[in-house]
Amino acid sequence: MQQTCISRAGNNVLASLLATITCVLLLGACTSKPAPTAKSFQDCSDCPEMVMVPAGSFMMGSPDTEHDRDDDEGPQHTVTIARDFAASKYEVTVAQYAVFLKETGRTTDNCDPGWWRQPMFTPDNPKTPAVCVSWEDAKAYVTWLGDKTGKAYRLLSEAEWEYAERGGTTATYYWGEAASQTCNFVPCNTRYEFTAPVGTYPGNAFGLYDMTGNVYEWVEDCWNESYVGAPTDGSAWLDGDCLHRVHRGGSWQSADSEYRSANRNRYFTGIRRTENGIRVALTPGASAKVTIVN
Ordered by start, the domain boundaries in the chain are 12-287
pLDDT, position 183 = 81
pLDDT, position 180 = 79
CB contact at 8 A, 225 and 248: no
Paired sense of beta strands 56-60 and 276-277, if any? unpaired
Paired sense of beta strands 280-287 and 151-155, if any? antiparallel
For the stretch 40-51, what's the b/e string if a residue is b when 16 or more beta carbons lie within 10 angstroms of its beta carbon? eeebeeebbbbb
Alpha-carbon gap, residue 291 to 294, rounded angstroms = 10
Cα torsion for 119, 195, 162, 273, to the nearest 10°? 10
Residue type, 241: D
CATH architecture assignment, domain 12-287: Alpha-Beta Complex (3.90)
pTM beyond 0.95, yes or no:
no
pLDDT, position 254 = 87
pLDDT, position 10 = 38
Residue type, 115: W
pLDDT, position 3 = 34
**What are the two backbone dihedrals, phi and then psi, of residue 76, each rounded to the nearest 5 degrees?**
-60, 145
The angle at the Cα of 55, spanning 54 to 59, to the nearest 5 degrees, equals: 115
Alpha-carbon gap, residue 204 to 256, rounded angstroms = 18
How far, CA to CA in Å, does 212 sit from each of 56, 164, 290?
21, 11, 33
pLDDT, position 188 = 67
Is 184 strand, coil or helix?
A: helix
Q: Give the pLDDT means over successive 10-residue stretches in the chain (294 positions).
A: 34 40 36 54 96 97 95 98 97 95 92 53 74 96 97 98 97 89 76 80 94 95 98 98 97 88 97 94 82 41
Which of 259, 130, 255, 247 shows the shortest CA–CA distance to 191? 255
